[in-house]
Amino acid sequence: MRQHISRCVFTFLVLCSSVLAQATGSSALFFVGATPAQPDVPKWYAAGLYTVGSERKLQLVRQMFSVDQHFQDFAEDLDNRFYLASQSGIMVLHLDDPNLEDFVSVDNFDDFPCWGAVKSDTGSSAVQYCSSKIFQVLGSNDSSQPRNGAGDWSKFKFLRYGGENGGPFPMQPPLAEIAGADVVMPYAFRPDVTIAKLPREWESPAAKRRTIVVVAATSQYLALWIVPDQMVGHTIDAANPDHAEPIQVLLWNKATDKWRTLELATTVTSLTHPPVRVFGDWLVTTTMEWRPGPAGSGSGSPGMANERAVLPIAEHPSVRDQYMNQFIDLYIPGKLILQNLSNDKKLVLNTGQEDSEILAIRSTGEVAYRVNDTIYSAKIVGDQITSAVPVVKDIDVPEIHWAFWAPAAHAAKPAANSRRSD
């Protein structure tokens, strides 16, 4: 399980949709799409700001990073900042003003082992990264203080991580260890920073540290998956990867200081990560089953024929090929389970497409989700997800994995010289 984190390359699209503005006209929905480069597909993609054009197609507003700038990584503080890292620096995306261009130059950026967003109890937001030592970039663009400076290992107790992005190009989640009763970061490095204390039944002997995947870390919850011993330290065999099903997630409610175990109907292999995300009180699980099938069959998951399949030289990644390579022997029926952690209410969204995911859930019940190349908006009403409406359908939509609402006054307008980059 312990792997050097491959540098991630992202194609970021930010879309604004006046179709989904609130009835008052006060807010609009934006989307961020990302395609990490995988070890077997080391290709770079450009990053751009887009809006919804005519006939629900994408229209380029401006390019944020060129292919040559090597877009590498993404983090979010789950409040008001997205951090987009390239070879030469970090762009801070302000959710309350997504049109604001805010780029901070960085020398020797590295995302291993301490890349991540942190947000302290005082409200300050930053992203931390390592080179020869730990550095940080502040989320605030206040000119009275330097944006880039020395970081602080202890800030990882304020780690913010929303969970694994959907689609077939996953990112590496944060890793931690159990040291006695302490959950410590960064993984395999010192000094130890304790981010939580476990109940006695989950303690690890002092002489044996256990590997933990941070499934999600918010201001309200910390969700952890203890990697089974048989999946730690083994050579990865792509033809027959180790797997765990269902998975047991340890959940800490910070407000009540209570721990409990959630059994989630999904599978993790030595090639994949827990397909779980948290939006406020909602924990979303992508259902997966271990179902070995004929070589190259992808276990017969629904929607395979609908997915984009392109040559390696194409501008867009091949969704079909990556599902075949990364999710070996996993059956993904297109079933998303939403569990409210405050009252345990469960909802199910059946999309009938393996390449589907929840993008955002608002506290008022609005939901944005993606099914292959189409984005939908919907509403949680009682125990149902209702009123689904298609918002955009286009070739770039499979790269969309994040969404957020922002003031409609900041909804981007296409630049005069902008065009689609198909």
> What would the pLDDT profile of 225-259 be if each residue is shown by its tens digit?
999 888 876 555 666 678 999 999 999 999 999 99
Q: Minimum mean pLDDT among 52-66, 315-329, 351-365, 397-411: which range?
A: 52-66
State which of 4-18, 226-240, 312-326 shows the largest mean pLDDT: 312-326
Would the pLDDT of 350 be above 70?
yes
Q: Minimum mean pLDDT among 65-69, 249-253, 386-390: which range?
A: 65-69
- pLDDT band at 302; cut points 50, 70, 90: very high
Give residue 8's pLDDT. 36
Would the pLDDT of 422 be above 70?
no
- pLDDT band at 354; cut points 50, 70, 90: very high
Give residue 104's pLDDT. 95
Q: Which domains are assigned to the chain?
A: 13-410 (2.130.10)
State which of 1-5, 89-93, 218-222, 238-242 shows the largest mean pLDDT: 218-222
Distance (Å, whole) CA 104 – CA 89: 6
Give residue 149's pLDDT. 92
pLDDT: which is higher, 194 or 299 = 194
Mean pLDDT of all residues in 109-129: 87
- pLDDT band at 375; cut points 50, 70, 90: very high
Would the pLDDT of 46 be above 90?
no
Would the pLDDT of 382 be above 80?
yes
Mean pLDDT of all residues in 205-218: 90
Would the pLDDT of 37 be above 70?
no
- pLDDT band at 6; cut points 50, 70, 90: very low
Give residue 357's pLDDT. 97
Would the pLDDT of 410 be above 80?
no
Mean pLDDT of all residues in 167-188: 88
Whole-prediction pTM value? 0.89
- pLDDT band at 26; cut points 50, 70, 90: low
Give residue 400's pLDDT. 87
Would the pLDDT of 15 be above 60?
no
Would the pLDDT of 18 be above 70?
no
pLDDT over 90, % of the chain: 50
Would the pLDDT of 198 be above 90?
yes
